[in-house]
């Protein structure tokens, strides 16, 4: 079920593909990328296609140019442009952070590690990633029983934003993939409700079909605004989109 696209419901502009994007943070041109990959002996057609797509993807080129570790960095920049999520001095939790594109964007935006007025970023991933200066990185499965406490211990106070870009490796079986990602989303939401400051925000990756009704209803009880958004950097042929919730209510009955 969908609550509507962030494009229509957002207060800030952020539409268009590379080359047409008008946002302050993601404006760039993808012209001139027409790379073909020769089929090398031993290279499967699928990996040739993947490589060709990478080489011709303007977001990949721009991520490299700007020193981002992943093209995914632009998804967070675009979501931030649409919803105004990242604030100087804010405290951010980044779930499913590797290789670290979102962590880099969050550290820059909140000024993590920049003295008393700077913010904080705590990132976790089941896979190792290189350190990001200014961020605390935890190497652990977020679904481990003690993972939430490790993040809480690292936080210096209530969080302003909880991000989840967590995705289990795709099985190709639509229902299984959907259930797995919804399990991660639900765990991220429960955690967000424990650590967010009043007024805080929550972003989580979901798959086509949006967030399940029950979870969406719970989110609407805890947040003033809940929307679905597919940022331009999210590939059109990908089933992913994001649920973006803002205005956390620490007391749902209030």
Q: Which is nearer to ligand SAM, 143 or 179 (CB)?
A: 143
Residues 24-63 that bind ligand SAM (CB under 6 A): none
Asked if 143 is part of the footprint of ligand SAM (rule: CB under 6 A), the reply reads yes
Residue of 167, 197, 225, 239 interacting with ligand SAM (CB under 6 A): 167
Q: Where do runs of H (alpha helix) occur along 161-231?
A: 174-195, 213-222
The correct pick among 60, 61, 63, 73 for binding ligand SAM (CB under 6 A) is 73
Beta strands in the chain (DSSP E): 91-95, 120-125, 135-139, 159-164, 196-207, 223-229, 240-248
Catalytic residue among 75, 205, 227, 230: 205
Q: Which residues contact 212 (CB under 8 A, 6 or more apart)?
A: 1, 182
Residue 233 touching ligand SAM (CB under 6 A) = no
The nearer residue to ligand SAM, 98 or 207, going by C-beta atoms, is 98
Question: What is the maximal distance between C-alpha atoms in the chain?
Answer: 65
> Which residue in 6, 18, 90, 99 binds ligand SAM (CB under 6 A)?
99
Question: Rounded distance, CA 83 to CA 245, Å?
Answer: 9
Asked if residue 97 binds ligand SAM (CB under 6 A), the reply is: yes
Verify whether residue 220 is a known catalytic residue: no
For ligand SAM, the binding residue among 62, 78, 125, 160 (CB under 6 A) is 125
Residues 6+ apart with CB under 8 A from 241: 205, 206, 207, 208, 210, 228, 229, 230, 234
In the chain, what is the straight-line distance between the N-terminal and C-terminal CA atoms, in Å? 26
Q: Contact positions toward ligand SAM, by CB under 6 A?
A: 69-70, 72-73, 96-102, 124-127, 141-143, 165-168, 184
| Active-site residue set | 205
């Amino acid at each position: 079920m969908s609550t509507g696209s962030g494009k229509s419901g957002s207060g800030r502009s952020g539409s268009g593909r590379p080359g047409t994007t008008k946002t302050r943070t993601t404006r760039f041109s993808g012209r001139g990328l027409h790379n073909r990959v020769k089929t090398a002996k031993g290279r499967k057609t699928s990996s040739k296609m993947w490589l060709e797509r990478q080489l011709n993807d303007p977001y990949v080129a721009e991520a490299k140019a700007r020193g981002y570790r992943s093209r995914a960095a632009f998804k967070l920049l675009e979501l931030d442009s649409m919803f105004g999520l990242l604030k100087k001095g804010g405290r951010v939790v980044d779930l499913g952070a590797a290789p670290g594109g979102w962590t880099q964007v969050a550290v820059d935006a909140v000024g993590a590690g920049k003295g008393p007025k700077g913010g904080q970023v705590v990132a976790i991933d089941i896979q190792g990633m290189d350190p990001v200066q200014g961020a605390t990185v935890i190497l652990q499965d977020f679904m481990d029983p003690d993972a939430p406490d490790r993040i809480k211990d690292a936080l210096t106070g209530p969080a302003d934003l909880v991000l989840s870009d967590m995705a289990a490796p795709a099985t190709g079986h639509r229902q299984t993939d959907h259930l797995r990602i919804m399990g991660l989303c639900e765990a991220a939401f429960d955690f967000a409700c424990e650590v967010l400051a009043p007024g805080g925000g929550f972003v989580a990756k979901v798959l086509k079909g949006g967030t399940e009704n029950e979870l969406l209803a719970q989110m609407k009880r805890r947040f003033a605004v809940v929307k679905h958004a597919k940022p331009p950097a999210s590939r059109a042929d990908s089933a992913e989109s994001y649920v973006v919730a803002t205005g956390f209510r620490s007391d749902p009955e209030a």
